[in-house]
Amino acid sequence: MAHLNPTNQVIVVGAGIGGLTVALGLAKNGFQVRIFEQAASLSEVGAGLQLSPNAVKVLRQFGVADAVGQHVFSPQYACIRDYQSGRYYLESPLGKHIEQRYGAPYWHVHRADLHKELVQACYAAGVEIELGHRVLGYRNEKKYATVLMDKKTEHADIIIGADGIHSKVRELMLGVQAPIFTGQVAWRGTVPAAAIKGATVQPNATVWAGPNKHLVTYYLRGGDLVNFIAVEERAKWQQESWRQEGDVNELRRKFIGWHPEVSAVLEACDSTFLWALNGRPTLEKWHDNRVVLLGDACHPMLPFMAQGAAMAIEDAFVLTQTLLKYDYHFAFDKYEALRKPRVTAIQKQSRDNAALYHMHGGWQGRMKLQALGLASKYASGIIHAKLDSIYGFDVTSLSI
C-alpha cells in the first residue's frame, strides 16, 4: 500500500527509552521529529536494565549499539539460586554462547547510560527535545493532530504516546483507569563493587528465589557497579506516589537470613527506591486516528522476564518500519497487529515467573525449581525453546 497521506512531522510524548528510540528511528529515516517531555531535565531515575539480543539488534539497526556497548557488562550465565543455600536451580550460559546462538550479545546496562546515548543520537539525527511540557489533551483534525500542553499547543501529522505506565495520552484516548497493583513492590539500587565486603558477587544475571520474595543481582558499567532488584509481596500499596525513596534498613530486615552474597550487597547499599509493580489489562486498541501508543503506555511489563525496555525498543522499530511503508491509518493497524500478540505473551510469561521465583506452593514451588534445573541440565531444548521465542525473535527481519 502506498502512502495516501505522507507522514513527515511527528510529535513524540515522552523522552524515556521507548520515546527516544522511536524518535531516533524515524529521524534517521527522514521524518521531522519533536519530543515533548514533562520532566524538567533529561535524566533517568533508576538503575540497571537487561538488553537481550532481540533489543540489541534494533540498536544496531538504528546505529547506536556501538555507543551503548561502551557502557555495558556481559554476563556469563543466567542463574536461579536458592535464597539460603545458594544452590543452583538453573545455570544457563550467556556470554559468547548466546551471541553465537542469536547473533547479538546479552548486555547489562545502566538505564542512565542507555538514555544518555539515545539522547545524543537523537540530537545528532536532528530530533528536537523540549522539556517541562505537560500534556493536557489532543485533537484529531482533518489534516493533522493537535497536542495541547500547559505551555503551548503544537501540530503534527501524528502523535506517538510513549509516556509510560501512567500515560496521559492513553488516558485521553481510552479514559481514566487506575493501574492495577500486582501485590508486589520492588526495591532497586546500585552499589559500587569495591564497597561489597565479605562476599564476591558472581558475574551472572542471578535470581535469588525465596518464599514470597526474590532478589536479582548483576553487574553494570564493566563491573564497577552491582545492580539489585528486590521484589516482595504486599497486600496493598498505600502511598500516593508509584515510586518513593526506600528505607535501606527496612530493606535489609526484609532479607535477613539470605545468602551471604545477597547480604553483602545490601550491607553496601546506602540508598534505594521503592516502586509499586503495577499492571493493566490488555487494551482494546493502541491508536486513535492520528495518535498511537508505544511501550509501557500500552503494555506495561512486570520485570520478571527483563523485557520491558526490550519490548519498547522492538515497538520503536516496527512502528518506524510501518510508517515508512504505509499511510498512517494502515501503519498503526499493522503495528498493533504485529506487536500485540508478542507483548501479551511476554506479559503472561513475566507474571508466571513471579510465582516460580517466589516458591508459591511451599515444597511444590521448590520442586518446580528443581524440575527446571533438571530440564536445563538434561533437556536443554526445553529451556532453549522458551528463550528462542524471546531472544531469537528478530524484528529487524520481519516482513512488514
Q: Are 248 and 272 in contact (CB under 8 A)?
A: yes
Q: Are 124 and 91 in contact (CB under 8 A)?
A: no
Active-site entry in 83, 89, 106, 218:
218
Rg of the chain, C-alpha, whole Å: 21
Phi, psi dihedrals of residue 202, rounded to the nearest 5°: -70, 150
Does an H or E element contain 29, and which? none
Does an H or E element contain 58, and which? helix 53-61
Measured CA to CA, the distance from residue 154 to residue 13 in angstroms comes to 12
Neighbours of 399 (CB within 10 A): 4
Pairing of strands 32-37, 128-131: parallel
In the numeric block, the cell 500516593 is attached to 240
Measured CA to CA, the distance from residue 371 to residue 339 in angstroms comes to 32
Measured CA to CA, the distance from residue 65 to residue 55 in angstroms comes to 10
Q: Are 163 and 169 in contact (CB under 8 A)?
A: yes
Measured CA to CA, the distance from residue 22 to residue 129 in angstroms comes to 13
Let me know if 88 is a catalytic residue: no
Catalytically active residues are 218
